[in-house]
Structure 1
Amino acid sequence: MSSQSTTSTIAAAADRLASAAATGVPCAPVRDLIGRDDLEAAYAVQRRLAELREAAGATVVGRKIGLTSEAVQQQLGVDQPDLGLLFDDMQYGDGEAIPVGRLLQPRVEAEVAFVLGADLVDGPLDAAQVRGAIEYAVAALEICDSRIAAWDISFGDTVADNASAGLYVLGTQRRTLDEVEPAEVVMEMAVDGHQVSTGVGTACLGDPVAAVGWLARTARDLGQPLRAGQVVLSGALGPMKPVAAGNAVTATLSGLGAVTARFQ
């Protein structure tokens, strides 16, 4: 953590983001407090916000991986993904109505999600171990959101803001890695029947399973290793798109079926 980032600036950044979430009014970026790329400070803010949510009764049920696209990394001037926490109040069912009032500036992206059947705590956390720990894969829509006005984010801003996590929807077709190869998945996403995004599995760090490996190692380094039963949103396969009340978003992922989010 840089000398500029102190306990007081971490607290101030967390308070700014928490206030935006509570009031529904997006805030200014927090990079004036913690810097654009101070990873330690940004994750410290994320942890503080997580502690506030947990104190209010929320439970961590998984992780999301962000910035898995090389183009988005270049846009933010970074060479690595980031991670955020998934809480139990963030999931909606396939096709269930989602109140846009829970969100500030929602944008939707399609991805492969995984549910873990084993902890990823000890050992090398290499490709073989990670594949063996995945119970199944499923199509997913992540509804990203930013508490920061106009999505004016640096790397530090999005990490602090729980990797711009909002809500998520999982599809109903569960497939083991013997049944589907995530790197070969082809994705199409439509809003109100009009195609708005396409992509392939290799767009996510070359392979969504490799993204889970990165997450497992990073989460362990942060002292919060992945556990059996947790959900992992592995990263977008194509561009995200903004949504509003009245929109219906459907993504179809080859081998994994379709998943729909409806906004009201």
Structure 2
Amino acid sequence: MTSTLHAELGDTLYRAWRERTPIAPFSARADGLPIADAYQVQQHFVARRIEAGETIVGKKIGVTSKVVQDMLDVRQPDFGVLLSGMHYVAGEEIAIDTLIQPRAEGEIAFYLKQDLRGPGVTREAVLAATESVGACFEIVDSRIRDWAIRIGDTVADNASCGVYVLGDERVAPAALDLAACRMTLDKNGRRVAEGVGAAALGHPADAVAWLANTLGELGVPLLAGEVVLSGSLAALIPVARGDALEMHIEGIGGCSVRFV
């Protein structure tokens, strides 16, 4: 696949994002969309948003839990870029009209105090480089119509990143068993999902290590000051106007969001 086609597909995703209009999956093309090419498309899509005034503030890891892999029929993790325009604080309202087909994920966010440069990054290195962890919502939002995605589609679409909501509470990870931390997620006062930290590739810090090592192969570090979303701990929850979500992660804290 040529750089010209990478740019063309990236521009298509950018227009879909700007116009809030979903598009057909790229994987349905005769030649499909190999992962290496999909990341090139993602880079162009992200570059268009940066040209429009956003900045990179972190990274996200997607498709880390089996329940999400089963739901999307995608069998390996991927990563995307967090941009300044995606960030909301806990309790803030999100206008549903700014999204296309949103779904919510409860996750553990890592706040880095040191750079992480792969290869060779381990769970222990991730924990040592982490200032604190907190509860967060990622609101994933595919630009691909009806979420009819394969791995190349979601990779190209910046790992289906929509926006994210960071909780106010942060704690040092040293005293926590992050794999055992239990998450509960309520929608409009009713329990709709539960999970534990181990859902994210066995341990959330292992997920961050996977990201650091994968990016290291591309010569890209995770930087001090960045936030890393380590992956969903339960199934994706569809949301609509009027929905209110609250989640809590044992030992870490909570997060809430409302859609208007």
TM-score after normalising by structure 1:
0.93
32-41 or 7-16: bigger deviation: 32-41
Match of 1:97? Answer: 93
> Does the CA contact (< 8 Å) of 2:116 and 2:223 recur in 1?
yes
Instruction: Tell me if 1:251 matches 2:210.
Output: no
> Does the CA contact (< 8 Å) of 1:29 and 1:152 recur in 2?
yes
Match of 2:136? Answer: 140
In 1, Cα distance between equivalents of 2:71 and 2:50? 32
Q: Which one of 40, 44, 54 corresponds to residue 44 of structure 1?
A: 40
In 2, Cα distance between equivalents of 1:143 and 1:37? 24
32-41 or 203-212: bigger deviation: 32-41
Residue 228 of structure 2 aligns with an amino acid whose one-letter code is V
Match of 1:194? Answer: 190
After TM superposition, give the deviation of residue 64 of structure 1 in Å.
Answer: 0.6
Q: Note the alpha carbon deviations across 1:65-99, whole angstroms, 9 max, x for none.
A: 00101344356665431000000111111101111
> Does the CA contact (< 8 Å) of 1:76 and 1:155 recur in 2?
no
After TM superposition, give the deviation of residue 182 of structure 1 in Å.
Answer: 1.3
74-83 or 43-52: bigger deviation: 74-83
Q: Which one of 64, 73, 81 corresponds to residue 69 of structure 2?
A: 73
| Stretches of 4+ aligned residues off by more than 6 angstroms | none
After TM superposition, give the deviation of residue 109 of structure 1 in Å.
Answer: 0.8
User: Among the aligned pairs, what percent are the same residue?
Assistant: 43
* SS of residue matched to 1:173: coil
> Does the CA contact (< 8 Å) of 2:247 and 2:256 recur in 1?
yes
Q: Note the alpha carbon deviations across 1:185-206, whole angstroms, 9 max, x for none.
A: 1011111101111111111100
Instruction: Tell me if 1:118 matches 2:114.
Output: yes
Gaps of 5+ in 1: none
Instruction: Tell me if 1:210 matches 2:206.
Output: yes
In 2, Cα distance between equivalents of 1:18 and 1:246? 27
Return closer, same or farther for 1:216/1:35 CA change in 2, 3 Å cut-off. Answer: farther
Residue 165 of structure 2 aligns with an amino acid whose one-letter code is V
Task: Please give the residue correspondences for 1:154-169 in structure 2 after superposition, counting only pairs within 5 Å.
Answer: 154-169=150-165
In 2, Cα distance between equivalents of 1:35 and 1:73? 23
After TM superposition, give the deviation of residue 100 of structure 1 in Å.
Answer: 1.2
* SS of residue matched to 1:26: coil
In 1, Cα distance between equivalents of 2:100 and 2:204? 28
Aligned residue pairs total 260
> Does the CA contact (< 8 Å) of 1:36 and 1:154 recur in 2?
no
Cα-Cα RMSD? 1.7
Gaps of 5+ in 2: none
> Does the CA contact (< 8 Å) of 2:199 and 2:233 recur in 1?
yes
In 1, Cα distance between equivalents of 2:28 and 2:2? 13
TM-score after normalising by structure 2:
0.95
87-96 or 35-44: bigger deviation: 35-44
